Amino acid sequence: MTATTDSGNSATATARPRSAGSLTERAEHTAARAVEHLLARQDAAGWWKGDLETNVTMDAEDLLLREFLGVRDERTTQEAARFVRSRQRADGTWATFHGGPGDLSTTIEAYVALRLAGDAPHEPHMERAAAWVREQGGVAASRVFTRIWLALFGWWRWADLPEMPPEIIWFPKWFPLNIYDFGCWARQTIVPLTVVCAKRPVRPAPFPLDELHRDAARPNPSRRMASPASWEGFFQRLDRGLHAYRRVGSRSLRRAALRSAARWIVERQENDGCWGGIQPPAVYSLIALRLLGYDLDHPVMRAGLASLDRYTVRYETAGGEDGESGAARMVEACQSPVWDTCLATIALADAGVPADHPALVKAAGWMLGEQVLRRGDWSVRKPQLPPGGWAFEFHNDSYPDTDDTAEVVLALRRVRHPDQGRVDASVRRAVRWGLGMQSRSGAWGAFDADNDSPLPNRLPFCDFGEVIDPPSADVTAHMVEMLCAEGRRADPRVRRAVTWLLAEQEASGAWFGRWGVNYVYGTGCVVPALVAAGLSPTHPAMRRAVGWLESVQNGDGGWGEDLRSYRPGHEQEWAGRGTSTASQTGWALLALLAAGERDSLAVEQGINWLTRTQREDGSWDEPHFTGTGFPWDFSINYHLYRQVFPLTALGRYLHGDGTGAATGRQEER
């Protein structure tokens, strides 16, 4: 199956034959083809965006939303079903990442989506899926969010779900479990879900789902009560108390809380109709507002529904012996134009594209226009801090992040823009905002400062993925690298961050990667940052990192790491282990090159792998997921990663580390 907008994973693609000549000559030839490919993919407005592939729950929940609102149409349904079928595994299950194991909740949601599309329970592919679901414990064993979707249609009882009252909207920011204790993605999802769970709607189910239950009684999934002295026992009893409060609490208070939640939701709708630039909050916000009386013709609802189409990537399936032909659609969880554009700009500049090349100048102009200059949720904890960051998506003024901000600044400094004064002013705002978002530990989270309360993750309601945004090594490394490039190497705040990074190094020599898979990503981020901060390549931390990367290099010369390295109990088994991929090989090479290993055997083999596996069109194949939404629970295949990170590595192998743009700037205190 080949996407019309992103053909990076075509089954018919072939690797380019290895060129004759020295390794440097082959690297130059490979980089030149990659530059040509990447330049051709730039939008006329100046941005780049690759497809952002996750898993079929996005597609299933899109159909369930449309069914709930009464707007599901046959064309959308069949195109989604075609995509969902194409991702089913031979055992009848659906996974959350390429090559991963079957996932119960994902399989249930995919199965329901195909039932909506008319697939009958007795069809072989449906029987295999239903049998596997029952073997795993049935619907009762699925995550809370899956059972919420089923409860909307009477396939599960609302009373058997954890409570999350809308009154949480009023908790002050110092109070435990206030909404700002949650990460921004969880906050945007939980607020509308409190409305949904308070209303407990049930739309007539279009069909029964008895085949997904282990027995007709549909047992209450509540576990045995833990000791009241444990956190688990405390939160189990808290949930029981919230169920009781639902029965006896003030109705007028509940109505007022629902109105406050509605205002909070509407105030955070972006200009294009989305919420936070990501699909899940948009889905739940639309349901919540509909339950609160907003009709489908209301401007907020119209804009929200229209925004859903912008998450859609259409494919054309070729068919064949095991597949069906026709149009298919994939729903992206979000879109990554700012992230992709700054990474593409860095890759091209480091590969030797002139700093005043029209493509780079256009990209810089577009990025300058995307800087967020109004306050968002981050200002709740930082009320005195002026804005100045960048977000990940096209439209997301409420939630800029430090990771994008750092990389955009690094990209802008590689471009010779005709209005240098504008660039300088933009960067000053970004540096001020970034420094202001530092957490007390000296490190950085992505979206908020000090968003590290352990309590939200313990709620029975929050059984899927990370719901807080604590500091991470990869984000902190990008901030350190940016601040050092801006002459802040001696700033005490940067030195605190460096100390934090050194303390976070694993015994193996690697660093954990929060937003990319995993230890290869974390190490690929941290080593260049520490070198930028002044650590010598001979520093013991650098030597341990180099030793670890050399120890996990695959026999083919590349690097890869499976997402199972995030799975509790499997970290050591899978850390740095997996099929070689272009992006992960790029990350490893970036670390090794920064650590002074350009002439090492490991670098030679890695560069050889990139030159040997490049496709005829100048890109690389990468079906494996190397991006992370929530470690283990939600994985991402950024389709542009396979292009930008190999090219950056090749460029730094050929031309150095790309920091020349920062040379000569005075230290700023």
Helices (H) and strands (E) in the chain, counts: 23, 6
Measured CA distances, 91 to 36, 112, 127, 188 (Å): 41, 17, 10, 35
- What's the rounded Cα separation, in Å, for the pair 250 and 167? 11
Give the distance between the most distant pair of CA atoms in the chain. Answer: 80
412: which residues sit within 8 A by CB, 6+ positions away?
364, 367, 368, 423, 426, 427
Q: Which residues of 506-522 are buried (b: 16+ CB within 10 A; e: fewer)?
A: bebbbbbbbbbbbbbbb
Name the active-site residue from 51, 239, 403, 491: 403
Pick left, alpha or beta for residue 220 (phi over 0 → left; psi -120 to 50 → alpha; otherwise beta): beta
Residue 198, token pair as written in the block:
């308070």
Contact yes or no for 49/637 (Cβ under 8 A)? no
Alpha-carbon distance of 367 to 455, in angstroms, equals: 37
**Which of 460, 429, 339, 454 has its CA nearest to residue 392?**
339
d(CA 100, CA 292): 39
Handedness of CA 49, 50, 55, 60 (dihedral sign): positive
The terminus-to-terminus CA distance of the chain in angstroms comes to: 53
SS3 318: strand
Whether 450 is catalytic is no
Cα-Cα-Cα-Cα dihedral of 244, 245, 251, 254, to 10°? -130
CA separation for the pair 386, 189 (Å, rounded): 26
Residue 654, judged by CB atoms within 10 A of its CB (0-12, 13-18, 19+), counts as middle
Q: What is the chain's length?
A: 669
Q: What distances in angstroms separate CA 15 from CA 581, 611, 619, 653, 657, one per listed residue?
A: 13, 9, 9, 21, 27
Tell me the β-bridge partners of 95. 102
Q: Kindly report the backbone phi and psi dihedral angles of residue 502, in degrees, each rounded to the nearest multiple of 5, phi listed first.
A: -65, -35
What is the full DSSP assignment across 31-48?
HHHHHHHHHHT--TTS--
Phi-psi region of 287 (alpha: psi -120 to 50; beta: other; left: phi over 0): alpha
Could you give the CA distance from residue 291 to residue 127 in angstroms, rounded to a whole number? 35
* DSSP strand pairing (52-53 vs 634-638): antiparallel
What is the rounded distance in angstroms from the CA atom of residue 639 to the CA atom of residue 164? 36
Phi, psi of 13 (to 5 degrees): -70, 150
Q: Which two tokens stand for residue 470?
A: 């604590």
Residues noted as catalytic: 403
